[in-house]
Amino acid sequence: MLGFIEKDNPKAKGADPKMFVDDSLLREIEASGFVKTLYQR
């Protein structure tokens, strides 16, 4: 996606994709053990 954006905005070329994603909720769910219990069935 950043490849398309960099055509209009050259600064996007050096952007880190992780800057645009907040995965803290997913990490919290996994840390709670919820995901592990789903796959134990």
pLDDT recorded at residue 25: 95
> What pLDDT, on a 0 to 100 scale, did the predictor assign at position 41?
65
* Under 8 Å between Cβ of 22 and 28: no
Using CA atoms, how far apart are residues 37 and 30, in angstroms rounded to an integer? 10
Amino acid 16: pLDDT: 86
Distance CA 40, CA 36 (A): 6
pLDDT of residue 7: 86
Domain boundaries, the chain: 16-41
pLDDT at 26 (0 to 100):
94
CA-CA-CA-CA dihedral for 24, 28, 31, 34, to nearest 10: -130
8-state DSSP, 32: T
Please write the tens of the pLDDT for every residue from 1-41: 888 888 898 888 888 888 889 999 999 999 999 989 988 86
